[in-house]
Structure 1
Amino acid sequence: MAGLLLGGVVLLGASVQWMTGMGFALVAVPALVLVLGPHDGVSLANCGAGLICLAGLAEGWRQVRLRSMVPLIVAAACTVPLGAWFARRLPEPVLLVTMGALVTIAVLLLLRGFRLRALTGLGGAVGAGAVGGFMNASAGLGGPPMSLYAVNAGWTIREFVPNALFYGAVVNVFSVATSGLPALDAGRWATAGAGLVAGAVVGRTLAGRVSEPRARLLVLMLALIGGATTLLKGVWGLLPA
């Protein structure tokens, strides 16, 4: 049963990522954390998101704006070790509360199209990259800060997608190198791999049939439910027996 749930979560996350260009971590992290625990759940999310980003870059790498991405990547590389250290030190209920709160806050900000003058220019890029690196290593959620930076920088969706894929590929490689691979047996690795492949097929099939606004709203609603569930489980774990 746990194996089927793991495969389904990865399939769903991969599907929405291929369908909308975002969402694997937002959708999958809360459920993976509940199924595998905080460390292995986040680490598997880093692996899955990194592989999807690398596959997407095979088609769009020529559109990456390297000069714009350097501050984001360098800042993220500096904070990934801090995020990994943070995740290793916190008790599991506290980590669940932190992850659930981060997901919920990130989704609400994205839903509101949050704009802040500080998230523009070089300073905005460095800030978004630093927060994204920390969040990616600690909670598997490096995408929302990048998305908020792109919104405030006025990037179009055509500009955003290849650069987000590049950012996701690099930051997830950093995160896996720092935190290590999840401790899964061969069966779970095979299940997760099958979910990634099946999700790619489903997502690419649905991409032309579901409007982008509806698909993005679905991603954010699923992420909001998952974040709230993780937050509540963490709070429950903190309550006295």
Structure 2
Amino acid sequence: MVVAAAIGGIVLLGSTTQRVAGIGFGLVASPMLMLLLGPLQGVVVANVFGLGTAVVAYLGVIKQVEYRRILPIAAAAVVAIVPGALLARSLAGPHLSILAGCLVLIALSISVAARRIRGLDRWPGLVAAGAAGGVMNVLAGVGGPAVTAYAIAARWEHKAFVTSMQGYLVIVCIASLVMRGELPSLTLPEWIVALAALGVGAVVGSYAAKRIDPRAGRIACITVATLGGVAVIVTGVIQLATA
């Protein structure tokens, strides 16, 4: 039950973050899930519940999604997921932990420095952002920051972007799960707790979104994700050193 409670807490935090900021489930939840369940199952679980969070949000904004803008990005991501999944299957646990942790930190750096990245608002930037998002999602469960960087560079109106990102996340999470060919090996109590946490997070997040300063939420998200990414890398290094 301790593991079930931990998974529930992580999913609750990720789901709440997603509802408050529109994105961020993977960035917050994936590093902690990798620490708890290992790099393989951690990313799979992050993708499953990231998909659930995105589907709930997508169903509420399905008519507002800007498909002409988001589908080319999603297509580039899906293509890139294929080699990313093959790489994930070929890496041992510690090596995958280190790579996934590094990708989390790279994703954070991209999201923070997005305004300084030149040329990202053009078609090559769009394709690169989509491809990077796909690889990062299948390897580390963090597919959003690269696309967020493109959106900032392209001056995509924030509300329209966040709405469209729900469709992107649905597509990318499904493609990642299919290519990984794995499902979460959770016990029934863990499934029940995690699904309940997903629902509670959606409700709490909707309430909190009206009261939390977006800047404060972003800082908290970046802090949690940074600590998680570093912890995943350290865990991988320790595993290699003691192997």
Residues 11, 198 of structure 2: 8 Å contact kept: yes
Residues 65, 163 of structure 1: 8 Å contact kept: yes
Identity across matched positions, percent: 37
Residue 40 (structure 2) aligns with = 39
Deviates more, 1:106-115 or 1:25-34: 106-115
Report the residue type matching 1:210 in the other structure: I
Residues 40, 93 of structure 2: 8 Å contact kept: no
Report the Cα distance in structure 2 between the residues aligned to 1:16 and 1:172, rounded to whole angstroms: 17
> What SS does the aligned partner of 1:128 have?
helix
Matched, 1:96 2:97: yes
Instruction: Identify unmatched segments of 5+ residues in structure 1.
Output: none
**C-alpha deviation, 1:165, in angstroms:** 0.9
Residue 87 (structure 2) aligns with = 86
The CA deviation string for residues 73-131 of structure 1, in whole angstroms up to 9 with x for no partner, is 21111111211111111111111111111111221332234432331222111111111
The CA deviation string for residues 21-75 of structure 1, in whole angstroms up to 9 with x for no partner, is 1111011101111111111111111111111111111222222221112321211
TM-score calculated relative to the size of structure 1: 0.95
Matched, 1:226 2:228: yes
Report the Cα distance in structure 2 between the residues aligned to 1:8 and 1:16, rounded to whole angstroms: 12
Residue 17 (structure 1) aligns with = 18
Matched, 1:121 2:122: yes
Report the Cα distance in structure 2 between the residues aligned to 1:63 and 1:232, rounded to whole angstroms: 42
Residue in structure 1 matching 2:210, options 200, 208, 211: 208
Report the Cα distance in structure 1 between the residues aligned to 2:231 and 2:5, rounded to whole angstroms: 20
**C-alpha deviation, 1:240, in angstroms:** 4.6
Residue 142 (structure 1) aligns with = 143
Residues 47, 141 of structure 2: 8 Å contact kept: yes
Deviates more, 1:103-112 or 1:123-132: 103-112
> How many residues are paired up?
241
Residues 136, 172 of structure 1: 8 Å contact kept: yes
Instruction: Identify unmatched segments of 5+ residues in structure 2.
Output: none
Residue 238 (structure 1) aligns with = 240
Change (3 A) 1:27 1:215: same
TM-score calculated relative to the size of structure 2: 0.94
Residue 165 (structure 1) aligns with = 166
Residues 35, 231 of structure 2: 8 Å contact kept: no
Report the Cα distance in structure 2 between the residues aligned to 1:8 and 1:240, rounded to whole angstroms: 30
**C-alpha deviation, 1:162, in angstroms:** 1.0
Residue 194 (structure 2) aligns with = 192
> What SS does the aligned partner of 2:116 have?
coil
The CA deviation string for residues 209-240 of structure 1, in whole angstroms up to 9 with x for no partner, is 11111111111111111111111111112225
